[in-house]
Amino acid sequence: MPSFAASFSGNSNFYMVLTQIILKPGKEQSLKRFHPWVFSGAIKGMKGTAQEGDMVQVVDSQGNYLGTGHYANGSIAVRIFTFKPFDGSADFWKEKLQAAFKLRERLGLVHNEHTTIYRLVHAEGDGLPGLIIDIYGTVAVIQAHSTGMFALRETLADALVQIYRGKLTAVYDKSNEKINKGSNTPSTNQYLYGEGGEKVCLEYGSKYNIDWIEGQKTGFFIDQRENRRLLGEFSVGKKVLNTFCYTGGFSISALKHGALLAHSLDSSQKALELAEENAVLNGFDSTRHATIKADAVEYLKNLQEDYDVIVLDPPAFAKHLSARHKAVHGYIRINEAAIKQIKPGGIIFTFSCSQVVDKKLFHDSVMAASIQAGRKVRILHQLHQPADHPVSIYHPEGEYLKGLVLEVE
Ligand code: SAH
């Protein structure tokens, strides 16, 4: 690979002059394998200055160019968005989004009559660390997780409008909770293009009223689409308990496939209202759908109904490595309660979306729960996030959603 200085002097019109982050000897190895993070401990020094969110160039200890990314004041100091020379043009971002769009097209998610909800950009999985873009019908919702990506929101919105060729009615920026964490500054969330759009969107033909303004994340947990569908297949003629239900997706899928009844449980009243609204929207009345406001673990410990199928989809118990131990205990607790209580032959769909709890640790936690419950348990399926949430093979940290379908004897 040519050094930055050589390529810069050879073609000065096409390269931005950026602060250079110089790595310690040997610390270039992971970048050469396309892992997009530079940890602060790997940095020897810098040529110039860098503020939170600035674009910077990363070079090895010899000055050879490695990549360009966004600088941040955390332990991940740079998130690389290109390993090629970077010209800083709006076209660069448009091409990145276009590539993400093309993948979703190949996956059959664009212009799909039955599913109008999908993830267009999944951060590192699409070579765009710090950026999430979700599509709800004709509305794109941008959620930047880094100051650098936040600064690009207008450029990204323009590119989206061009890529969708007039099919988008709005682009909404929902970055505030990620960018202004804990600060008292007024919310920056706003429409960057257009305003509003049809809120009722589809997932495999089921209708969901999406609230991208007030809802959690960008409005919907898109990552469970294929798992909700699989649950449907296990639910024919069954009684289903959907704990941590949020907008009720697992319940709707179960009912759609012919469940006898589905109970949606959440500790949040707002979530239960959304679940109920979606049940009604799909034509399921109180004879088949009910909501339960409760703490999931407490409810599971004293289960009244003899459910055939239980869904456990808690929020991320561990957001950081330091919370991992506590998180594992949380997973053991809820899984033990469900395994103990479910009727013989019952099915449990159990999930973890904590990135720091990997597949093996989650698996081990569910094994510990099974041992403590003292019942025979078999794994029928091992679940994960869907293809519109791709994982770069060089960035295994991008794989965050894990699930198991258990059969309890
Ligand atoms: N399964 C959902 C997503 C779950 S999000 C889907 O498919 O869309 C996690 C949900 O857990 C949130 O709605 C939150 O309100 C709820 N929650 C958090 N702690 C809880 C607890 N202790 N008991 C019950 N629900 C809880």
- 343-373 pLDDT tens trace: 999 999 999 999 999 999 999 999 999 999 9
Per-residue pLDDT, averaged over 380-395, amounts to 98
239: β partners: 261
What are φ and ψ of residue 378, in 5° steps? -120, 145
The Cα 257–Cα 206 span in angstroms is 11
Whether residue 115 is predicted with pLDDT greater than 90 in this model: the reply is: yes
How far apart CA 7 and CA 87 sit, in angstroms, is 12
Q: Which two tokens stand for residue 194?
A: 């257009």
C-alpha 57 to ligand 1 mean position (Å): 41
Of the residues 266, 274, 295, 297, which should be mutated to test ligand 1's pocket, given the most ligand atoms within 8 Å of the CB?
Answer: 266
Catalytic residue among 144, 149, 337, 353: 353
- For 147, the 3-state DSSP assignment is helix
Q: Is pLDDT above 60 for 2? A: no
Among 65, 25, 16, which residue's Cα sits nearest to residue 43? Answer: 25
**Atom number in ligand 1 closest to CA 295:** 23
Q: For residue 354, which of 396, 318, 314, 328 has the smallest C-alpha distance?
A: 318
pTM metric for this prediction: 0.95
Share above pLDDT 70 across residues of the chain, in percent, rounded to a whole number: 96
Q: Residue 310: how many CB atoms within 10 A of its CB?
A: 30
Q: Distance between CA atoms of 296 and 268, rounded to whole angstroms?
A: 11
Task: Tell me the pLDDT of the chain averaged across its residues.
Answer: 94
Place of tokens 């449980």: 265
| Ligand 1 atom at minimum distance from 244 CA | 11
Cβ(86) – ligand 1 distance below 6 Å? no
**Cα of 248 to ligand 1 centre, how many Å?**
10
Q: Is the CB of 253 under 6 A from ligand 1?
A: no
Angle ∠(377,378,384) on CA atoms, nearest 5: 115
Under the banding of pLDDT at 50, 70 and 90, the label for residue 180 is: confident
Task: Note whether 314 and 244 are within 8 A (CB).
Answer: yes
Provide the b/e sequence for 274-292 (b: ≥16 CB within 10 Å). bbbebbeebebeeebbbbb
Whether pLDDT at 3 is above 70: no
Ligand 1, atom 12, residue with closest C-alpha: 246
Residue 157 to residue 297: CA distance in whole angstroms:
42
In the chain, what is the straight-line distance between the N-terminal and C-terminal CA atoms, in Å? 58
Structure tokens at 23: 């790595």
Asked about 353 being catalytic, the answer comes back as: yes
- 181 falls in which pLDDT band (50, 70, 90)? confident
Residues 6+ apart with CB under 8 A from 85: 7, 14, 15, 65, 68
DSSP state of 328: H
CB proximity list for 33: less than 8 A, separation 6 or greater: 394
How far does residue 296's CA lie from ligand 1's centre (Å)? Answer: 9
Residue 330 Cβ inside 6 Å of ligand 1? The answer reads: no
What percent of the chain has pLDDT above 90? Answer: 91
Has residue 288 got a pLDDT over 70? yes
- The pLDDT tens digits of the residues spanning 183-212 come to 888 999 999 999 989 999 999 999 999 999
Tell me the pLDDT tens digit for each residue of 229-273. 999 999 999 999 999 999 999 999 999 999 999 999 999 999 999
The confidence band for 1, taking pLDDT boundaries of 50, 70 and 90, is very low
Q: What backbone phi and psi angles, to 5 degrees, belong to 254?
A: -60, -50
